[in-house]
């Protein structure tokens, strides 16, 4: 299902700034159990100082700020960074920095973090430098945690997505090699091999989370407008796609679809 492009073109990472205002409300919250597992696996406790890579408007920052952590959050997009500052204004121990993670020089006081984490952003960071950079900023024994939130297809998933795929094909917006049904959530890839291959981290945990949300047509289109592929799609194509989504959901008794989400958390310890 074409709704989240993988970063084969890293230039698309700047498109998210166009969705700065709507991202926080349109994207789902990550599961509470994910944060519980994250703290359990890494042994992180307030007031530890954490570093977030690609914080967006603060989606994954807020729960950890509320827990009492000091956080430096680095965000590439100036509009997203400004939204994060607004959303996190009540937390004086959170500092939002506008910069690409690859180019950020690090804290001026030489702080080394107990945990570097990235939620949905890690795949957009330059693979040639990101692991070395994270390791450099961690204290000895510190952890790197990476997770995402992607479309999940558990048994019994909503047939709407298979049906709407024909519109993506018609528009030339399908991805070569896509197969139906897509792999189930338990087959969602983790990053443990990538962490190992980097030479900087020892993988210590992988956890998977699956949940579903109901969406009206307006809510689902607002969600699609936060995905890079849809932001970059031409307006004629986007109007055709969104018109079909509205038409097809209007034919349903409650006008809603069920979209499942999968998050895969991978944690590594600095070597």
pLDDT at 16 over 90: no
Classify 74 as helix, strand or coil.
strand
Contact present, 28 and 262 (Cβ < 8 Å):
no
Domain ranges (residues) in the chain: 10-151+185-212+261-270
The pLDDT tens digits for 202-223 are 999 999 999 999 999 999 999 9
The pLDDT tens digits for 137-160 are 999 999 999 999 999 999 999 999
Segment 18-40 shows an average pLDDT of 86
Q: Kindly state which CATH superfamily the domain 10-151+185-212+261-270 is placed in.
A: Vaccinia Virus protein VP39 (3.40.50.150)
Q: Out of 5-19, 109-123, 243-257, which region has the weakest mean confidence (pLDDT)?
A: 5-19
Segment 46-69 shows an average pLDDT of 97
DSSP-based helix, strand, coil % in the chain, nearest 5: 40, 25, 35
Enter the tokens of residue 204. 């210590």
Segment 228-239 shows an average pLDDT of 92
pLDDT at 102: 95
Q: How far is CA 70 from the centre of its chain?
A: 21
Q: How far is CA 24 from the centre of its chain?
A: 12
Q: Decide the pairing of beta strands 70-75 and 49-53.
A: parallel
pLDDT at 19 over 80: no
Distance CA 228, CA 231 (A): 5
Q: What is the pTM of this model?
A: 0.90
Q: Is the peptide bond before 66 cis (omega within 30 degrees of 0)?
A: no
Rounded percentage of the chain residues whose pLDDT exceeds 70: 92
Nearest to 83 by CA among 93, 92, 75: 75
pLDDT at 26: 84
Phi–psi pair at 136, nearest 5 degrees: -65, -30
């Amino acid at each position: 299902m074409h709704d989240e492009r993988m970063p084969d073109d890293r230039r698309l990472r700047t498109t998210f700034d166009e969705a700065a205002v709507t991202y926080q409300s349109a994207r789902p919250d990550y599961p509470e159990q994910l944060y519980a597992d994250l703290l359990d696996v890494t042994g992180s406790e307030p007031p530890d100082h954490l570093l977030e890579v690609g914080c967006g408007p603060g989606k994954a920052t807020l729960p950890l700020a509320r827990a009492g952590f000091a956080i430096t959050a680095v965000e590439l997009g100036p509009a997203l960074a400004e939204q994060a500052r607004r959303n996190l204004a009540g937390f004086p121990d959170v500092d939002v920095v506008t910069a690409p993670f690859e180019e950020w020089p690090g804290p001026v006081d030489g702080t080394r973090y107990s945990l570097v984490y990235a939620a949905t952003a890690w795949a957009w960071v330059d693979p040639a430098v990101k692991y070395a950079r994270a390791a450099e900023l961690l204290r000895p024994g510190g952890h790197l945690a990476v997770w995402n939130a992607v479309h999940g297809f558990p048994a019994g998933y909503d047939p709407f997505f298979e049906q709407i795929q024909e519109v993506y094909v018609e528009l030339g917006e399908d991805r070569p090699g896509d197969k139906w049904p897509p792999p189930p959530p338990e087959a969602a890839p983790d990053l443990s091999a990538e962490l190992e291959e980097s030479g900087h981290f020892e993988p210590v945990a992988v956890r998977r989370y699956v949940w579903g949300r109901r969406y009206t047509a307006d809510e689902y289109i607002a969600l699609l407008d936060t995905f890079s592929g849809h932001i970059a799609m031409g307006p004629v194509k986007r109007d055709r796609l969104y018109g079909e989504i509205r038409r097809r959901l209007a034919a349903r008794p409650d006008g809603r679809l069920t979209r499942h989400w999968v998050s895969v958390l991978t944690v590594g310890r600095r070597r």
